[in-house]
Amino acid sequence: MIEEIEFTLSPTGDEPRRHERYLPSNEIDGLLQAFPSLHSYPRTPAGYITYKGDYKSDLSVSVLKYFSGIGRSPHFGNERLKRKPLSFPVTGTRFFTTAEMEGAAYYKVDSDLELSSMDHATIQKVSQLVLEAKKLPSKPLIGKVAGRSQRIICNEAMVDLLKEKHFNGLSLSPVALNGSTTYKIFQIESSVLCGPLKNNLVDGVGQITSDHLSLKSLHISDKFYPPLLQYEHSELERLQGADLVFTMESLGEVPHALEEYSDIYKFQHLLCSKRFRDWAVSESLPLTFTPVQFGETLRTDNVLASTKVEDPHARRVKLSEEIAAKIDHDDARVGELSPNERAVYCLERLSVLVNMTGADKFFDSSVGPLYLPITEGLKVIGAEGMLEYLQKSKEICLEGLEPSEQNILDAELEIAERVDAASEELNGLFTNYVESEFHHKLREFEDALVASQEVMA
């Protein structure tokens, strides 16, 4: 398992709180003196340094220890703990090895494909959804419910396939449709419950809690994304034979204005066995699988494994890592890559931003300078929704702003203010369909490159 961290150092020491996501320059000077190798990391034209490295590497450990020594502390957003004074934001990303993916007995299931949109004004019950029929063909289909919910839903054709496989623990609940009888949609559930999670769970204000029922917000506290669900080793023996399992805890966050729809936002999450995962991979279903840990470490020798199926996610990760290594992860060198390599590198950078920070922060991030190659990549993979979103974002955030070499720092600070001011408008443009289409198209493009075993020059 690889756990990477990323944070940004800012040259703007005069107004450090104006851009609180960055560390100010009066602290950077001492850092660069203590760790000269940081000079080699990528910089923006205004001098921002983005550090990215293995969390457990000697350099990462030493840098974080250095900041703790001067009263700073890293704040991992995915940890969801209450932010401490003088802390600085750190992004943590987790990658699993092929051995860990193959060795796991159970996985958390998430869907890459968005099937529906919600209209809260017309929902009569929590279970009712308004579905866009034009996006629901009769072929076997599986995806997720709209919004922040990751409930897995499917159509009748997929129900028949699921039942043919006799997956142990499978349970299906019909989803009511408002004003439409064309399609019958079902939520994939389980009649089997896991025991309690070992992970620390936090409430909406970042306090670790044991109250898992009455809270409107409950999250797994984990420095890295995706979070790693952890259970006692004895739980594995108890679950043996179950292909689909529900978490005991309902996880998620209920928006204050939508409390009457609490079950949509805070719900039990679906876990699956290796048998189910292998079948889903063989069927090319748009699902992502994150290993679940039983005991102290992830397994790499799963004795419950059915068939050995090479994990497509691991292949995609390997592809992107090999491409990034060609230019030493340096954004300034993307022109050295072939068109397909450049598309993968730049769109993976965009994907991390969308998952960790939000697409509305595009022009106020280290990914912003990659706007042109990213839009070129979006055209290559056919992600029209994301392309249109970024083009509109550019109009909102950069209109009339043409920074010269003399005022580029002031321009970047103005961009930051524009992005903050336009955040609500940008979020309104960033629909679930835009995100779903982008990730789905990127996944298909990378799978095609892997399958062809070549990257066109």
What separation in angstroms does the CA of 30 have from each of 25, 36, 71? 9, 10, 14
Q: What are phi and psi of 398, to 5 degrees?
A: -120, 5
Distance (Å, whole) CA 164 – CA 272: 17
Nearest to 171 by CA among 150, 161, 155, 186: 186
pLDDT per residue as tens digits for the range 201-215? 998 888 888 877 778
Beta-carbon contacts of 291 under 8 Å, excluding residues fewer than 6 positions away, are: 96, 100, 101, 103, 104, 106, 107, 228, 298
> Does residue 405 surpass a pLDDT of 70?
no
More confident residue, 17 or 102: 102
Q: Give the domain ranges of the chain.
A: 2-95, 99-308, 314-452
pLDDT value for 181: 54
Query: What average pLDDT does the segment 402-426 reach?
Result: 65
Q: Residue type for 102, please?
A: E
> Does residue 348 surpass a pLDDT of 80?
yes
Query: What average pLDDT does the segment 303-328 reach?
Result: 68
The CB density around residue 218, as the number of other CB atoms within 10 Å, is 22
pLDDT value for 129: 54
Q: How confident is the model at residue 345 (pLDDT cuts 50, 70, 90)?
A: very high
Chain CA centroid to CA 22, Å: 22
Place of tokens 């072929």: 139
DSSP-assigned letters across all residues of 230-269? EE-THHHHHHTT-SEEEEEEEEEE--GGGGGGHHHHEEEE
Distance (Å, whole) CA 155 – CA 373: 37
Place of tokens 């700073």: 72
Q: Residue type for 27, please?
A: E
